[in-house]
Amino acid sequence: MNALATLARPESKFQNLLSTPVAVAVGVIGAILTVVMARQPEVGLLLGCIGVAILYSVYPTFSLGWGTSRERLIEWSFLLVGIASIVLAVSLDARWLALGWAAHGIWDGLHHRDHHVVGLRGIPLWYIQTCLVWDVPAAIGLLIFL
């Protein structure tokens, strides 16, 4: 078992790093900051692209630590959705970035431990809660301001 794999264990402090209220507060603050950054005409798209790249890299990184080969394949395949949203946003229309951000929020919902649907198991609940609160308002802000 590698060091990353220990993070997925239920008794890991990482699994309970943030309480639900703190996760929600981080999500709200993150969404507000994302919208504020999107409003910056010179750097909004660039910062949004960096944000999406980070969002989409989390699950594949986790999968290296504790995922099965099938889970890794699913998570690394979904990374292509994030990359596509960035490429389309830069080359065609910035609104593709908003769609990519919203898709990540849906992906988080599919990983919730109480009703897991697809992909990697053992994602910390606080991460999912933070992203569910952050991703949709951020996507709306990007859609409006980019």
Give the pLDDT score at 88.
97
Phi then psi dihedrals of residue 118, to 5 deg? -150, 155
Residue 61's alpha-carbon distances to 28, 43, 75, in angstroms, are: 24, 27, 9
Question: Residue 93: its pLDDT value, please?
Answer: 93
- Residue 80 confidence (pLDDT): 96
Torsion sign (Cα): 138, 100, 143, 34: positive
Q: Which residues touch 90 (CB under 8 Å, ≥6 apart)?
A: 45, 49
**pLDDT at residue 7, as a whole number:** 62
d(C-alpha 27, C-alpha 125), whole Å = 13
CA distances from 35 to 75, 113, 128 (A): 27, 29, 20
Q: Is 121 helix (H, G, I), strand (E, B) or coil?
A: coil
Contact 84, 72 (CB under 8 A): no
pLDDT of residue 91: 96
- Say what the pLDDT of residue 37 is: 84
Mean local confidence (pLDDT), 108-137: 84
11-69 residue pLDDT tens: 677 777 777 888 888 889 988 988 888 888 778 889 889 999 999 999 999 898 888 99
Q: What is the pLDDT of residues 72-122, one digit of tens each?
A: 999 999 999 999 999 999 999 989 999 999 999 899 888 877 777 888 888
Strand, helix or coil at 144?
helix
> Is residue 1's pLDDT more than 60?
no
Residue 85's pLDDT is: 96
